[in-house]
Amino acid sequence: MTKETAGLYIHIPFCKNKCPYCDFYSVKYCYNAGREYSDRLVETIKQYQGSFDTVYFGGGTPSILDTDSFAKILNACRKQFDIDDESEITVECNPSADLNEKMQAYAALGVNRVSIGMQSAVDRERFALGRAAGRKEVERTISYARNAGINNISLDLMLGTPKQTTDSLDESFRFILEQGVEHLSAYMLKLEPGTKFYEMRDKLVLPDEDETAEMYLKTVEVMNQNGLKQYEISNFAKSGFESRHNTKYWTLTPYLGLGKSAHSFWHGERFYCDSEWNIISDGTGGDDEEKIMLGLRLTRGVEKSLIKKDFSSYIKSGLMCDLGDRVALTPNGMLVSNTIISSLI
């Protein structure tokens, strides 16, 4: 393993409130709980060795942690691990809080990328998703990051949400492009069991399946036309700003996940940490089926030689495209990626 390959993920499980669509592991934040969790993370870090060129703080809401606790975790990583000087270091941020001082602190600690939970630039859509902040707060957070010298900024956009239409999506597009962000992650809303939205599923008024598909294809078209090129099913970036960390997941590059609910692919083994800090084995990884399943998420696709089943019908129907010695899903194919991938592995 070399320092150019492995990624380090740190899970911060705290949120101010639970969003009604979210099924990620999270708990309500308080200062003391954050301090205790940070101390436990530092002890966990000491149990591993490794070299990394990406560090990703995900959640939950990592930006909810007090600055001292955040610094303690990142400094412990630098002390225990070989963290490349050119590492991509990302923090997920919630724009509902005033993050001016924290952005300055993040930059001083070496953070060079932030991912901001926008979901929509239309306030009525954000509020329908249970988000406390509006468009102005998102814009403010971007400005704080830029002023701190953090110039690799990603926004989250959700598709097929309550109150959203193909026309209102244009307003979010305009905001994204006006802000000049380097990266966009666009996800279609899924009603996951255990979430409030799932409980409300019979009462929710949502765009239908065809309209949501239209929103996705429109996102691909508009972003590609405006310099945010699609490189993965849900991800778009300016050239050179693709998420180095997340790309590791799709290319079966080793990564170590630390913290409650964090998953790892480490020395060929898959495992995760449960909510009681127990490490649970999840088998081995890296076989050809995984290479197909994960590789077809990327617009560069996979080598044809990996796929042993006939995929010619998907090419003829426009769901896949021939790239010479590789094959990839088209945007229409990405809409039904699970069905196609299941038939090929």
Summarize pLDDT for 94-125 with one digit per residue, the tens.
Answer: 998 889 999 999 999 999 999 999 999 999 99
pTM of the predicted model as reported, rounded to 2 decimal places: 0.95
Q: What is the pLDDT of residue 23?
A: 82
Q: Alpha-carbon Rg of the chain, whole angstroms? A: 20
Grade residue 3 by pLDDT with cuts at 50, 70 and 90: very low
Helical spans, DSSP H, in 180-336: 196-199, 209-225, 244-250, 288-295, 312-316, 331-335
Domain ranges within the chain, ordered by starting residue: 7-249, 288-345
Q: Candidates 3.40.50.300, 2.40.10.340, 3.40.50.970, 3.20.20.70; correct CATH number of 7-249?
A: 3.20.20.70
- pLDDT tens profile 253-312: 999 999 999 999 999 999 999 999 999 999 999 999 999 999 999 999 999 999 999 999
> Does pLDDT of 2 surpass 80?
no
DSSP state of 66: -
Q: What is the pLDDT of residue 119?
A: 94
Mean pLDDT for the stretch of residues 313-321: 97
Mean pLDDT for the stretch of residues 170-196: 95
Is the torsion defined by CA of 245, 293, 206, 221 positive or negative? Answer: positive
- Amino acid (one-letter) located at 80: Q
Alpha-carbon span 154 to 235, nearest angstrom = 10
Q: Which residue has the higher pLDDT, 17 or 251?
A: 251
Supply the mean pLDDT for the chain. 94
Q: What is the pLDDT of residue 239?
A: 97
Q: What is the pLDDT of residue 310?
A: 95
For 173, what's the count of Cα atoms within 13 Å in the CB-facing half-sphere? 21
Return the closest-CA partner of residue 337 out of 234, 221, 314, 329: 329
Query: Do 259 and 25 touch, CB atoms closer than 8 A?
Result: no
Residue owning tokens 């699970």: 338
For 315, what's the count of Cα atoms within 13 Å in the CB-facing half-sphere? 11
Instruction: Detail the DSSP E strand segments found in 81-223.
Output: 82-93, 113-119, 153-159, 183-188
> Does pLDDT of 151 surpass 80?
yes
Grade residue 1 by pLDDT with cuts at 50, 70 and 90: very low
